A and B are shown apart, each in its own frame.
Chain A
Amino acid sequence: MKMTGAQIICESLVKEGVEVIFGILGGAVLPLYDTLPQYPKLRHILVRHEQGAAHAADGYARATGKVGVCMATSGPGAANLVTGIANAYLDSVPIVAITGQVARPFIGKDAFQEIDITGITLPITKHNYLVLDVDSLARVIKEAFYLARSGRPGPVLIDVPRDVFTEPAEFSYPSRVNLPGYKPTLQGHPAQIKKTAKLINEAQRPLIIAGRGVIISGAYAELKQLAETAQVPVVTTLLGISCFPEGHVLSLGMLGMHGMAYANMAVNAADVIIAIGMRFDDRATAKVSAFAPHARIIHIDIDPAEIGKNVRVDVPIVGDVKIILNALNKLIVSTEHIGWVQQLDDWRREHPSTVIRDSQGLLPQFVIRQIYEVTQGEATIVTGVGQNQMWAAHYYWYNRPNSLISSGGLGTMGFELPAAMGAKIGCPEDTVWCIAGDGGFQMTIQELATIVQEKVAVKIAIINNGYLGMVRQWQELFYERRYVATPLSGPDFVKIAEAYGIPGLKVRHKEEVIPAIEQAMAHQGPFLIDFVVEPEENVYPMVPPGASIAEILEEPKKEVAIWPQRSTP
């Protein structure tokens, strides 16, 4: 059937099961947008800045497990996507970005709104395409979606010149891809799996470090089975949070720079570490030469380039986490490590990392904990970057799979609002809470308009401390309290929300917290709460930069833990 390039794109998107596109139009993509109304299955969400489109596609993809799609015009439109694409690249999130390009005769001539977006995004995409031939368009889209979602997922960009949108061509959607240079390994090597099983079965102090790979692979049950059968405690990376129920007796929470003290101590003491779908990021390992000094390390990851990149590995297994854990579980004998588990329990008691001290003022930790209480742990939490992110990681109790969405690798402030919007659009039945800092929130605040226009019922909690808080904390601890460029005078967020058409509340006192959260939950649409918290509250525990994971700064004063009792769910 003869179609225009624009129709071929829309038709292919429908074939790929795309339901939502986040984007902003412009001259170069106008022919594509003009075609959109012919495809009512494709819902277009007009964001207010292209960065929001990429983050929204990212949040959508993380929440649904499907490929997120964003669109932008040539030049500034495409350039504005860059941060969002880089964010998706570092966190292995499947998104497809479609950008308009100037017409073919103008390429390379510094035409109006021309930018070499394939060149710019080369190091931050899994792959990218400049489509010069309308006949290859359907194949390119097929490949793009396949590449984005298979193997180690990641962003793929398709740059389409304006005149390719309008050129007619025969359309038939390919049923399969042919990429001789791309064959992700899924099955783990049997000999390596056997070796791993032997190590685990003989271990005295085994420990699992689980990352986002478990979530991507959907290996929740397999991980739980491994942990329970061999009685191996589980720590997670930041992005691994919610791959293993945090209320489980074997859960030790997050490791790393702001990890739980006992999680880091466990890493330091373990004799066998099973690293699953994680990449030994420097925020997780701290000083890499002092990481896990007593452990033999098993590394399970789908990306062979991650093996041995940061940390020496004794047994590498390349493949899909779920498939490998399934095979591994057949070889694991039921064991107990009573002494080890007891030791970890003692550490957990002696070094409680998520207690909230008694305070007259409003503590950010308290706010997060109350959001947990009111939502009964059933919400999807989307965070910004910095202190708000760490408090959200520490003080919410993640028992539901895939319930934390956060910018880990790139650490993109401003991710929270558009990503929460994408997550809510992808999973409209879920309660989505956007935990923002007053700094990051102002970086993508314009998406409040999108949320109103598209009636996206996200609940927004601003942890407002009047600082770029995490940087201020570093200045306090390592720069003798020289608060250079961190004090932040924000606007009245409640009035801002009101101007956009979103009801809001300002909360300054402890007793107002729960009623405010309840009011937000009871409200049908989006709702914003500006929590004005203690300005100089720090995130603890903390491993100072350059120190080893065992050198943990804990919060100076401690009160009694108020966590609910742990049980085996």
Chain B
Amino acid sequence: MAATKHTLVALVEDKPGVLNRMASLFRRRSFNIDSIAVGHSELPHLSRMTIVVNGAATMVEQVRKQLDKVIDVVKVSDITGDDVITRELALIKVHATASTRSEIIQIVDIFRANIVDVAADSLTIEVTGDEEKIESLFNLLRGFGIKELARTGCIAMNRGGSSPLRIEEKLPRFRNEKRKAP
């Protein structure tokens, strides 16, 4: 079965080891995770994860079910094919000389990206967008010489009012307990 790109989003309890538990399910099936992005969600004590993997649809569905079985995973959904917004942030440090600097700045402007650091022989560019946009900017800059690249990995959210991660039940523990200072 052909491998295709899948985007999974998950709400998970903010506890040590959760990432490990989830990653282990992919590792066991020799899935290569394209990207994984984790951060706080709108609910205290719950983190939101976006995982992008390549795999056959049936295998991804099997992993999704296994992820759902992880006790610390509150909800997980495969949003591939949904109407979603996906964004990623990249920092690109590109080789720049006096003669190439203005050309780079023009390209950056076209992409509505920002220059966040300037040095004698380099420019650091911050760009946000979907994967395609970042890829095309990267490809245009490649000719100047890329010194460094850092990407956050994709985060995703459904358009409109619907959310595959909405939690119906009340979560008293999360509402009443205050986040402990570390």
CB contacts (< 8 Å) of A127 on chain B: these are 71
CB contacts (< 8 Å) of B17 on chain A: these are 118, 122, 130
State whether B21 touches A122 (Cβ < 8 A): yes
Q: Which of A123, A130, A178, A305 contacts B65 (CB 8 A)?
A: A305
State whether A126 touches B21 (Cβ < 8 A): no
State whether B69 touches A303 (Cβ < 8 A): yes
CB contacts (< 8 Å) of A303 on chain B: these are 69
* Those of A136-184 within 8 Å (CB) of chain B: 147, 178-182
Tell me the complex Cα distance, A145–B127, Å. 49
CB of B43 to closest CB in A, whole Å: 10
State whether B62 touches A181 (Cβ < 8 A): no
B167 contacts A by Cβ under 8 Å: yes
* Those of B22-50 within 8 Å (CB) of chain A: 24, 28
CB contacts (< 8 Å) of B28 on chain A: these are 123
State whether A181 touches B172 (Cβ < 8 A): no
CB contacts (< 8 Å) of A503 on chain B: these are none
State whether B68 touches A122 (Cβ < 8 A): no
State whether A305 touches B74 (Cβ < 8 A): no
Instruction: Find the residue from B28, B62, B174 having the highest chain A CB count within 10 A.
Output: B62
CB contacts (< 8 Å) of B65 on chain A: these are 304-305, 307
B102 contacts A by Cβ under 8 Å: no
A309 contacts B by Cβ under 8 Å: yes
A119 contacts B by Cβ under 8 Å: yes
CB contacts (< 8 Å) of A130 on chain B: these are 16-17
CB of A492 to closest CB in B, whole Å: 44
Give the nearest-CB partner of B74 in chain A. Answer: A181
Give the nearest-CB partner of B180 in chain A. Answer: A133
B73 contacts A by Cβ under 8 Å: yes
Tell me the complex Cα distance, A130–B24, Å. 18
CB of A174 to closest CB in B, whole Å: 11
CB contacts (< 8 Å) of A305 on chain B: these are 62, 65-66, 68-69
CB contacts (< 8 Å) of A181 on chain B: these are 12-13, 70-75
State whether A309 touches B62 (Cβ < 8 A): yes
State whether B24 touches A122 (Cβ < 8 A): yes
CB of B38 to closest CB in A, whole Å: 16
State whether B68 touches A180 (Cβ < 8 A): no
Give the nearest-CB partner of B76 in chain A. Answer: A181
CB of B21 to closest CB in A, whole Å: 6
CB contacts (< 8 Å) of B16 on chain A: these are 130
State whether A304 touches B68 (Cβ < 8 A): yes
B20 contacts A by Cβ under 8 Å: yes
State whether A179 touches B21 (Cβ < 8 A): no
Query: Can you add 16 more A-B contacts, CB < 8 Å, to A127-B71, A180-B13, A305-B66?
Result: A122-B21, A123-B24, A123-B28, A130-B16, A147-B71, A179-B71, A180-B169, A181-B12, A181-B13, A181-B72, A181-B75, A182-B71, A304-B68, A305-B65, A305-B69, A309-B62
Pairs across A and B, CB under 8 Å, 20 listed = A122-B20, A122-B21, A123-B24, A123-B28, A127-B71, A147-B71, A178-B173, A180-B74, A180-B169, A180-B173, A181-B72, A181-B74, A181-B75, A304-B68, A305-B66, A305-B68, A305-B69, A307-B65, A308-B58, A308-B61
